[in-house]
Amino acid sequence: MAKLLKKTWVRVALFVSLGVVVLGAILLVRVLNSSTVDTRSQAAYDPMQACFSMCDSFPHAVRSFCKSRCPRLAEGKMNCDQFCSVNGISYDQKNFCVKVCNERTKGHEAHTQASHGPAAIQTYVPNNVQTTPQTDQPTPVSTSTPIPVDAPMIPATVSPTTQPQSQPSSARTYTEKIFTSYKSSTASYGSSSGQVLTAYTPTGDTQTNRAAVILVHGGSFTSGSRASLASTAQQLTNYGYVAFSIDYRLCPTSIAMVWTNTPSQVQEGCIQLARQDTESAISWVRNNAAQYGVDPNKIILLGSSAGAIDSLYVGLEPLSGIQPPIAVVSDSGAILQPDLPAIGSVTPEPAVLFLHGSTDTVVPTGAALATYNTLQSQGIPAQWNLYQGAGHVIKITPTVLSSIVQFLAKYVN
């Protein structure tokens, strides 16, 4: 009997041990499966991988530049619209990029909230909301003193340039609207089909020594036309300026003109082509000054984007021996870092007004700030107007135009 009981307990112990082993194996398999699912789920929402996939849909020439910005997108330092604003991609490609970016962002946000809780979203999801809303008339932060490159983009204490309390009547001509209409005409300033300008003169003006503003359009040196700045030219005539909006020779759209401090020979050639034409336009306006009632010693350049880059180079580092303009207005432009040491090589240097958005990634805000600081170090008059929350190209609203004419009035009188 004792032997039988002993055998029975041995069998029970064996069955229990076997059950424990089987149960442990089942639990281990479930844990491993759970870990595998989580890993795959995380990979599906990996912001860096999603970003690289979007970049791979871009033309080959801009993929590396696109991928270099993926960490900023993944860390929430750049929103989808800013990320997808890359020179060298088409309008449809940008819209597709923004759509995919937003969809992946929403999907990743839902996954992150489920896995880590709502508080974790700020760590994993790109920030798609501007901290400062953009408006048609953004308020600039303005200064005319050097700003450290590593300082916050919005200086703590600045004061806008203000118009002097008392001015001669000739000064008020360029700060108050004294004309209500204009007349326009078209002319060629060179032999090429792309070297054309439209002149805008105030109707009824009897003076013969007006300041002239030459406007240079943007478009990555591959597109755009003088028509894009026609409205600004027309508004300048209200203040007494004679305005010339120019076309210049463009490079093929197949050339990707992306901001880089080491441009290729082809890219440099595109910029030099625009510089040559702008300098030719200045010479043409001077040679025909009497016809338009212009003072040949009061020429101003106003450029937007690529036109601003062009205007800065023509004003500060001209290719030919032309007399430089008295002032340059740079709307979202800059000079490449390797070319900054050449600033100060011409006399007299023009005064420069910078209009730039704090979130500009096409012509990086830091590049424009470095150009401004270089001018300051050379003792060249310059003013820095930073538009908080604005991206590439500042829209010339009445408020922005007022700040431009206030700046220019100090140098045309």
Residue-wise pLDDT for 180-221, tens only, equals 999 999 999 999 989 999 999 999 998 999 999 999 999 999
Q: Using alpha carbons, list the distances in angstroms from residue 163 to 350, 385, 394, 397.
A: 19, 16, 22, 19
For residue 168, name the pLDDT band (cuts at 50, 70, 90).
very low
Q: Which residue has the higher pLDDT, 152 or 31?
A: 31
Question: What pLDDT is attached to residue 82?
Answer: 67
Question: What pLDDT is attached to residue 360?
Answer: 96
By CB neighbour count within 10 A (0-12 exposed, 13-18 middle, 19+ buried), where does 375 fall? buried
The answer to whether the CB of 52 falls within 8 A of the CB of 58 is no
The answer to whether the CB of 74 falls within 8 A of the CB of 91 is no
Question: What pLDDT is attached to residue 54?
Answer: 74
pLDDT of 28 strictly over 70:
no
Nearest by Cα to 358 from 76, 139, 145: 139
The predicted model gives 84-109 an average pLDDT of 61
The predicted model gives 97-125 an average pLDDT of 50
For the residues of 284-328, what is the DSSP string, one character each? Answer: HHHHTHHHHTEEEEEEEEEEETHHHHHHHHHHHS-SS-PPPPSEE
Helix (H) or strand (E) holding 409: helix 398-412
Cα separation of 402 and 175, whole Å?
A: 8
By CB neighbour count within 10 A (0-12 exposed, 13-18 middle, 19+ buried), where does 192 fall? middle
Considering all CA atoms of the chain, what is the largest pairwise distance in Å, rounded to the nearest integer?
134
Cα separation of 214 and 234, whole Å?
A: 12
The predicted model gives 136-150 an average pLDDT of 57
Whole-model pTM: value is 0.64
Rounded to the nearest angstrom, the gap between the alpha carbon of residue 287 and the centroid of all alpha carbons in its chain is 35
Joined together, the tokens standing for residue 398 give 């009445």
Quick: pLDDT tens for 256-278.
Answer: 888 998 999 999 999 999 999 99
Q: Which amino acid is at 191?
A: S
Question: What pLDDT is attached to residue 98?
Answer: 72
Residue 361 phi, psi dihedral angles, 5° rounding: -115, -10
Cα separation of 250 and 222, whole Å?
A: 5
Say which range, 67-71, 106-110, 152-156, 269-273, has the weakest mean pLDDT: 152-156
Cα separation of 362 and 343, whole Å?
A: 23
**In this prediction, what percent of the chain has a pLDDT beyond 90?**
52
Task: Please state, as a whole number, how many other Cβ atoms lie within 10 Å of the Cβ of residue 70.
Answer: 19
Cα separation of 357 and 373, whole Å?
A: 17
The predicted model gives 225-247 an average pLDDT of 97
Q: Which amino acid is at 311?
A: S
Joined together, the tokens standing for residue 89 give 């991609």
Nearest by Cα to 288 from 397, 187, 161: 187
For residue 85, name the pLDDT band (cuts at 50, 70, 90).
low
Question: What pLDDT is attached to residue 167?
Answer: 35
Q: 3-state SS string over 232-260?
A: HHHHHHHCCCEEEEECCCCCCCCCCCCCC
Average pLDDT value over all residues in the chain: 77
Beta bridge partners of 351: 327
Joined together, the tokens standing for residue 209 give 């020594």
pLDDT of 43 strictly over 50:
no
Quick: pLDDT tens for 285-294.
Answer: 999 999 999 9
